[in-house]
Structure 1
Amino acid sequence: MKNTKFSDMSTEELIKNQKTLKTVNTIFAVVLFMLFALNLFIVFMKGFSAMNVIPIALLPILFLNIKNLKEIKRELESRG
C-alpha cells in the first residue's frame, strides 16, 4: 500500500483499497491458519525447529492489515 494518508484519498480509492485489503486479509488469514495447523502437526511428528516460528512472525502483518481496514472504514463513515 502507498504511503498516503487515507484522508488524502478519494472515496473511490478508499472503497477500492478496502475491497482489495479485505480479500488479501481473508486469504492471508486462511493461509496463516493452515500454517499454524501444519506446524502443530510437524511439531508432534518431528519436534520443534526454527521454522515453526514463521506463522508467529507473520501474525503482526495480519494485525496491521486489520488496523488499516478499520481506519479506512472510519474515514468512509466520516465522509458520509
Structure 2
Amino acid sequence: MMMAKLGQSIFVDIGDKKILIDAGAGNANVLLHNMDVCGISVTDIDLLVLSHGHLEHAGGLRPFLNVSTTLVPIKPLRSFAILQP
C-alpha cells in the first residue's frame, strides 16, 4: 500500500526513459517506499527534475545523489507569478 505525505513526486515512463519530477517532502522514506510498491528503484530513474528547491519538492533527493555523480542545474528562462486581484 502506498503512503501519503505532504510533498509530491510524479513518475513518467516514456518507454526508454524514466523521469521523476520532484523528490517528495522531508526525507526519502515515503518516496522510496512508494517507488518500491510500484516496482521502481532509484537506479531506474534516468532523469530527475526538481521544479524548485523547497523541501516539499526536494526533500527526498539524497538517495539519488548516492547513485549519480552527474548533476546538471538548469535555470528557468524566466519566472512568473499568478496574482489574484
- TM-score, reference length from structure 1: 0.29
Answer 1 or 2: higher relative contact order, Cα 8 Å, separation at least 6: 1
Higher share in strand: 2
- TM-score, reference length from structure 2: 0.28
Instruction: Select the structure of larger CA radius of gyration.
Output: 1
Higher share in helix: 1
